[in-house]
Amino acid sequence: MASKKERKQEAKERRAFFKKICKEHYTVIVPDMLPIHFDLIRSILAKKGLNYVVVPPMGREAKDEGLRTVQNDACYPAIITTGQFVAELKSGKYDLNKTAVIMSQTGGGCRASNYISLIRKAFEKEFPTVPVLSLNFSGLEKMFSLPLNLREMYQMIHAVMYGDMLMNLYDQSIPYHDEKEVNAALNHCMDELKKKIGHHCFYRRKANYKMMLDAFKDLKPNLEKRKPRVGIVGEIYVKYSAYANNNLADFLVKQGCEVVYPSLAEFCLYCIYNNINDYNQYGQGKATVGAFKIAYKIFLKATRTQAKAMKNSGFLPYEDFEHVVEEGKKVINTGVKMGEGWLIPAEMVAFVEGDTKNIVVVQPFGCLPNHIVGKGMIRPVKALVPEANIIPLDFDASSTQVNQENRLKLMLANLRREMEEK
């Protein structure tokens, strides 16, 4: 453990580093995952003086760059996120002496905590001047961890909640209405929210939820002819990133389905819950458990406020987190927390015991924990709900989209047969 003097020196160097890159208005490249959420978070962090750019959709070149620069037995998300950074830096759009990249870290034993070393190794020869920053709340990467004050953290909680709401409204509208109209409503809400960042009105969640619901009031799903709902669960990056999952949601919508994603707030609550659980079961984290309990209450209350706002709106809210926890306990212990741990089977059970009997479990190559708690938990979930229609879908940097779509068509064929029998 570092001495008090060493910690003070580290803090001083960190302040000097971030003061320098803010003063020089560095461009910070962000990997794609959740375009709505990341756009709002980018707008919040831009107040620091840094220009955040979310990586645009790419073709095959990013995956090829990832395979070239990362050992090919690394997991699929590690390969393509690194490949995206390398391809973007090679594009010629950036001054490499004033550019950085950023990666989030959860502090667990999986993807979001261990990629930074791979990215730095990939940059050693070609981009030695490009620093790799970290966004985390676990005390990792102290020198390069993005400093956030309480106000910015609170703003980011609101960005997560607003992003979840808009993602939910969009996914329930797009199968039933013209894409241009749905995108116009989404863009209107994003513009209104961005104007409010830095002002008190950004924190007025109830008023902002009403604004979003008003924007989508003419884009409600057809309740009389509701299309079959297909839930998507799995490793967080491949689940949410359209680039990583080969536009899975778009394909399902074109096949006549309504896509259902779990919320990002649910994943945040999962991470917080695990830290509280570690203290309750093992006595770990005594110094921080109080802060995690406060964060849990804030996030849980925020999700319930959103669900209440959506009541009688014609749109379905996300499942309550504590309901998801209890559903998961039917098939797995909440002490299983490597990767997405108990959350994946918990989401599956919550879906199939509700009105979402069809599930795609996205499985990235090289991610052993998610194969165990994803693919490995399909049998106990189906034993609980025999009519569940669940398919595991593997992704890696060399797999073809055609093979994945053919597997999805088998699931959809089962779905249509069951609908005809009913």
Chain Cα centroid distance, residue 245: 13
**pLDDT higher than threshold 90 for residue 252:** yes
Q: Against a cut of 0.75, is the pTM above it? A: yes
Angle between helices 264-282 and 150-173 (to 10 degrees): 130
- For residue 52, the cross-strand partners are 28
**pLDDT higher than threshold 70 for residue 1:** no
Please state which CATH number belongs to domain 4-147.
Answer: 3.40.50
When pLDDT is averaged across residues 335-343 and rounded to a whole number, the result is 88
Average pLDDT over the chain, rounded to whole?
A: 89
Task: Using DSSP, state whether 375 is helix, strand or coil.
Answer: helix
Please state which CATH number belongs to domain 227-262+319-421.
Answer: 3.40.50
**pLDDT higher than threshold 60 for residue 112:** no
Question: End-to-end CA distance of the chain, in Å?
Answer: 64
- For position 316, what pLDDT does the model report? 95
Encode pLDDT of 296-334 as tens digits.
999 999 999 999 999 999 999 999 999 999 999 999 999
> Where do the domains of the chain lie?
4-147, 227-262+319-421
Helices (H), 329-384: 343-352, 368-373, 378-384
When pLDDT is averaged across residues 67-92 and rounded to a whole number, the result is 88
**pLDDT higher than threshold 90 for residue 406:** no
Distance CA 258, CA 229 (A): 5
- For position 141, what pLDDT does the model report? 75
Q: Do domains 4-147 and 227-262+319-421 have the same CATH topology?
A: yes
Quickly state the pLDDT bin for 421 (edges 50, 70, 90). Answer: low
Quickly state the pLDDT bin for 210 (edges 50, 70, 90). Answer: very high
**pLDDT higher than threshold 90 for residue 337:** no
* DSSP secondary structure letters along 2-35: --HHHHHHHHHHHHHHHHHHHHTT-EEEE--S-H
**pLDDT higher than threshold 90 for residue 111:** no
Encode pLDDT of 159-195 as tens digits.
999 999 999 999 999 999 999 999 999 999 999 999 9
